[in-house]
């Protein structure tokens, strides 16, 4: 991030700052159940307000199909932000148009305006189908700040196209800077040993990340349903467990490459299995080499695997974790995930957790404050590992070269 413009570099007094935030938060019965992402945006918002600026916030929420859907309104987010800031947050009925432009013009220093869901317009996700959308958004502000790491991997109107309308005033917010500082330290110069943990259901969404991590990490610990695809590729019976048939050859290739790599890949040696994922009735522990019998499916890593993984973690100087290691939303099949969470909290290593499920597990275990960095963007963090860059960051203005400016 050192070569990209920061919010610290902007002149904000009397300016209207158009800030892309990630308020894609869980909402049930019109109530926010987890405001972590809103709270994460507060430092940047408060910084602008403290320096005499007005704030115009834009975000998406959920997956509306390019048209207004009331259940995806950002009004609950505006209400919660108002409580956190202890000041009014005006809620706009849309995110562009003459009425919204007038609301923006009327803003005074210290005011906060929340635009309605960007994805109510098809131009947000498909800029080519509504090419004027980013331009209309840009008319609202004097400077642009991207503080939405969770969407930095998506080339959407509000994350990449809009930057061109602020050629020397498209800057990173504090959250974006923090995310990239931690991820950059892990990827560019990690303290070793570097241990990565990958869980979750699908190898299809993470095999490129696995390949990238094999070039960077010293040991890779695999868990979750994706482990079943690896087992199946080795001819081990997996019973009724979830797996991805079309990725068996990919799993086999990864294992072959790992055998010749300096990065070790560890798979579970024992599992908790059950007839159903939503009931502990009939569950038992088996050794992986015995195979999972028909009528059962893997639901968690077993006690020996927990011990093995804990031993690896205790040797690590840097740890990155993405994805639960079992069906953690259905106790008691959360024991493996929770044990790893507690172990990470006690490590002297630099610890980074990315992804909503992993963070949920950390918070459920009550150890969130003991993790060095909780990344607000699981998908973005994985794509950064895979590609080494993100379009939402690449699009930001470059910081002027002070030496060159002095010489000219």
**Distance, CA of 396 to CA of 171 (rounded, Å):** 6
329 belongs to an annotated ligand binding site: yes
Task: State the catalytic residue, choosing from 202, 208, 252, 276.
Answer: 202
Single out the residue of 288, 251, 258, 253 nearest to residue 273, CA to CA.
288
Q: What are the CA-CA distances from residue 96 to residues 76, 114, 147, 299, 329 (Å)?
A: 19, 12, 20, 47, 39
Residue 326 a catalytic site member: no
206 belongs to an annotated ligand binding site: yes
Task: State the catalytic residue, choosing from 141, 223, 356, 392.
Answer: 356
Task: State the catalytic residue, choosing from 37, 80, 178, 232.
Answer: 37
357 belongs to an annotated ligand binding site: yes
Question: For the range 282-289, what are the long-range contacts, defined as Cβ-Cβ under 8 Å and sequence gap of 24 or more?
Answer: 283/332, 283/333, 288/231, 288/236, 289/236
Mapped onto helix, strand or coil, the DSSP state of residue 19 is strand
Q: What are the CA-CA distances from residue 233 to residues 188, 245, 290 (Å)?
A: 32, 9, 15
Residue 87 a catalytic site member: no
DSSP 93: S
Mapped onto helix, strand or coil, the DSSP state of residue 198 is strand
63 belongs to an annotated ligand binding site: yes
Single out the residue of 319, 198, 217, 313 nearest to residue 258, CA to CA.
217
262 belongs to an annotated ligand binding site: no
24 belongs to an annotated ligand binding site: yes
Residue 224 a catalytic site member: no
Cite the beta strand spans of 96-178 per DSSP E: 112-114, 143-146, 170-172
355 belongs to an annotated ligand binding site: yes
**Distance, CA of 244 to CA of 229 (rounded, Å):** 6
41 belongs to an annotated ligand binding site: no
**Distance, CA of 36 to CA of 15 (rounded, Å):** 27
Query: Is the sign of the CA dihedral 107, 113, 116, 121 positive or negative?
Result: positive
**Distance, CA of 203 to CA of 195 (rounded, Å):** 19
Query: CB-side exposure of 83: number of CA atoms within 13 Å?
Result: 9
Across-strand partners of 90?
113
Task: State the catalytic residue, choosing from 66, 184, 239, 379.
Answer: 379
22 belongs to an annotated ligand binding site: yes
20 belongs to an annotated ligand binding site: no
Rg (CA), the chain: 23
228 belongs to an annotated ligand binding site: no
Q: What are the CA-CA distances from residue 322 to residues 157, 236, 328, 329, 403 (Å)?
A: 28, 25, 14, 16, 41
388 belongs to an annotated ligand binding site: no
**Distance, CA of 92 to CA of 102 (rounded, Å):** 11
270 belongs to an annotated ligand binding site: no
Residue 295 a catalytic site member: no
**Distance, CA of 227 to CA of 299 (rounded, Å):** 11
200 belongs to an annotated ligand binding site: no
Give Dmax over CA atoms of the chain in angstroms: 76
Which residues are part of a known binding site for (2R)-3-phosphoglycerate?
37, 119, 154
Q: Where in the sequence numbering do the catalytic residues fall?
A: 37, 202, 356, 379
Which residues are part of a known binding site for ATP?
206, 298, 329, 355-358
Which residues are part of a known binding site?
22-24, 37, 60-63, 119, 154, 206, 298, 329, 355-358
């Amino acid at each position: 991030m050192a070569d990209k413009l920061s919010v610290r570099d902007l002149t904000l007094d009397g300016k209207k700052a158009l800030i892309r935030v990630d308020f894609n938060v869980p909402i049930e019965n019109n109530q926010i159940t987890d405001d972590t992402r809103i709270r994460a945006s507060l430092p940047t918002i408060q910084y602008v307000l403290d320096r005499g600026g007005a704030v115009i916030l834009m975000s998406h929420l959920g997956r509306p199909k390019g048209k207004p859907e009331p259940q995806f309104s950002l009004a609950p987010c505006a209400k919660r932000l108002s409580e956190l800031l202890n000041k009014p947050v005006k809620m706009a009925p849309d995110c562009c148009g003459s009425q919204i432009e007038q609301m923006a013009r009327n803003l005074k220093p210290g005011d906060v305006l929340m635009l309605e869901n960007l994805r109510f317009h098809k131009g947000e996700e498909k800029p080519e189908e509504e090419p004027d959308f980013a331009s209309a958004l840009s008319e609202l502000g004097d400077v642009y700040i991207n503080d939405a790491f969770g969407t930095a991997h998506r080339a959407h109107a509000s994350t990449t196209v809009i930057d061109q309308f602020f050629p020397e005033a498209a800057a990173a917010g504090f959250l974006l800077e923090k995310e990239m500082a931690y991820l950059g330290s892990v990827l560019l110069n990690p303290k070793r040993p570097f241990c990565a943990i990958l869980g979750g259901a699908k190898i299809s969404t993470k095999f490129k990340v696995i390949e990238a991590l094999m070039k960077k990490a010293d040991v890779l610990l695999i868990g979750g349903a994706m482990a079943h695809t690896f087992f199946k590729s080795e001819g081990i019976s997996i019973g009724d467990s979830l797996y991805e048939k079309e990725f068996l050859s990919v799993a086999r290739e990864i294992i072959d490459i790992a055998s010749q790599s300096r990065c070790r890949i560890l798979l579970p040696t024992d599992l908790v299995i059950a007839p159903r994922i939503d009931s502990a009735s009939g569950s038992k522990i088996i050794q992986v080499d015995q195979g999972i019998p028909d009528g059962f499916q893997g639901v968690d890593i077993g006690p020996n695997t927990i011990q093995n993984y804990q031993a690896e973690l205790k040797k690590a100087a840097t740890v990155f974790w993405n994805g639960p290691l079992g069906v953690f939303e259905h106790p008691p099949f959360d024991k493996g995930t929770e044990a790893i969470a507690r172990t990470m909290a006690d490590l002297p290593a630099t610890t980074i957790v990315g992804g909503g499920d992993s963070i949920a597990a950390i918070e459920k275990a009550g150890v969130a404050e003991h993790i060095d960095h909780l990344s607000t963007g699981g998908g973005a963090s994985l794509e950064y590992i895979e590609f080494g860059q993100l379009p939402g960051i690449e699009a930001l203005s470059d910081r002027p070269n002070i030496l060159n400016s002095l010489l000219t």
